[in-house]
Amino acid sequence: MVRRRRNRRRFGRLSLRRCSVAKKLPKRGLPPMHPGELLREEILPALERPKTKIAKLLGVSRQTLYDILEERQPVTPMMALRLGKLCGNGPDLWLNLQKRYDLQRAEQALGEKIKAIPTLEVA
């Protein structure tokens, strides 16, 4: 009897590399959001606390929090740790949001220059 190989990864999850649904997903979805936008639009209204209180709980100045909310300042690893603890979701979400946002902005700024760089192959 021949067993079919399952499309599962090491931890038992379905691999998206072989999944037909993954091939149908658009390459580019919505543009990445700044972590401050998520914080401003979704998290803070749900917490129902004033921004001053949130800044105090985070151990940062009000101005630092306002700069992040207005997308003038990035979420640093130290701030990601604070936000992750406050929200209970860990720092990875905040760092990944910031990373995607930064990469998208860099790609916009350097798009043509990056396309001009050749990709080398190992012999």
pLDDT on residue 104: 94
| pLDDT of 14 above 70 | no
Q: What is the pLDDT of residue 31?
A: 87
Backbone angles phi, psi at 117, to 5 degrees: -80, 125
| 14 beta partners | 8
Mean pLDDT score, 46-73: 97
What integer pLDDT is reported at residue 32 of this predicted model? 92
Lowest mean pLDDT among 10-14, 69-73, 75-79: 10-14
Cβ-based neighbour number of residue 62 at 10 Å:
14
pLDDT value at position 2? 55
Nearest CA among 115, 80, 87, 78 for reference residue 101: 80
Indicate left, alpha or beta for 12 from its phi (over 0: left) and psi (-120 to 50: alpha).
left
Q: What is the CATH number of domain 35-111?
A: 1.10.260.40
Cβ 32 vs Cβ 100: under 8 Å? yes
| pLDDT for 69 beyond 90 | yes
Residues 58 and 41: their CA atoms lie apart, in Å, by: 18
Cα–Cα distances in angstroms (integers) from residue 110 to residues 88, 102, 106, 115, 117, in the given order: 36, 12, 6, 9, 11
Average pLDDT value over all residues in the chain: 84
